[in-house]
Chains A and B, each alone.
Chain A
Amino acid sequence: GQNIDQPTEMTATEGAIVQINCTYQTSGFNGLFWYQQHAGEAPTFLSYNVLDGLEEKGRFSSFLSRSKGYSYLLLKELQMKDSASYLCAVRVSGGSYIPTFGRGTSLIVHP
């Protein structure tokens, strides 16, 4: 099976930087997705990492270390609209290949 762990909740200040961590224990790791989900809305795709290193997309960056079973999502220049749940999803090979979601981290950005 898979074990995916994220903090339940984080708070940060507008304009600041926040790092949301995701650790996983799987066999046959084959990629990690980050999604953003605003309350009552659908998840939207943010990033995908399959190789070690940092992927940058504007204010958002995602990092992966396969040897440590660890990823983080870095959000810079936080805005109030970044208040949302951030879901880490891990894909493994040898099975269905469908990513399994972690429980999500609820980020609250305050002025």
Chain B
Amino acid sequence: DTEVTQTPKHLVMGMTNKKSLKCEQHMGHRAMYWYKQKAKKPPELMFVYSYEKLSINESVPSRFSPECPNSSLLNLHLHALQPEDSALYLCASSQDDKGRYEQYFGPGTRLTVT
């Protein structure tokens, strides 16, 4: 199983809402990532979890809150977002976070903030 799954596929939320994005992989990968991607731009790294611990936070605003409940799951909790946060949110995993291995990406969640 070389699949990373993400739910939901699409999400529309108001600026006062609280929602969560979910990501799951069963490849035994110990590194998991959240990326934000705007149209016609490359993915921008947001967070990295290594062995279920947050190892990198790329100065992401606190309205985005990651969580790694176990080695297979990664969540991104959203609260009080702004319209400019509308983007494709990609989850990825790799065997470790040392960059020696390719990343496997999920299909993404298309988020629209109204």
- Which residues from chain A sit less than 8 Å from chain B, CB to CB? 30-31, 33, 40-45, 48, 87, 91, 96-104, 106
Contacts and interface: CB of A to CB of B under 8 A. Distances in A.
Given A33-B102, A98-B97, A99-B103, 10 more contacts: A40-B88, A40-B110, A42-B108, A43-B90, A87-B42, A87-B43, A96-B48, A98-B48, A101-B43, A104-B41
Given A96-B48, A96-B56, A42 B105 contact: yes
Interface string B70-88: 0000000000000000001
B104 A98 contact: no
24 contacts: A30-B99, A33-B102, A40-B110, A42-B105, A42-B106, A43-B43, A43-B90, A43-B105, A45-B102, A45-B103, A45-B104, A87-B42, A87-B43, A97-B97, A97-B100, A98-B45, A98-B48, A98-B56, A98-B97, A101-B42, A101-B43, A102-B42, A103-B41, A104-B40
A30 B100 CA distance: 9
Interface size class of chain B, counting residues whose CB lies under 8 Å from the partner chain: 20 to 34
Contacts of A31: 99-100
Contacts of B106: 42
Nearest to A41: B107
Among A41, A42, A96, max chain B CB count under 10 A is at: A42
Contacts, number: 53
Which 6 pairs between the two chains have the least Cβ-Cβ distance? A97-B99, A42-B105, A101-B42, A45-B102, A91-B99, A97-B98
A42 B97 contact: no
B97 A48 contact: no
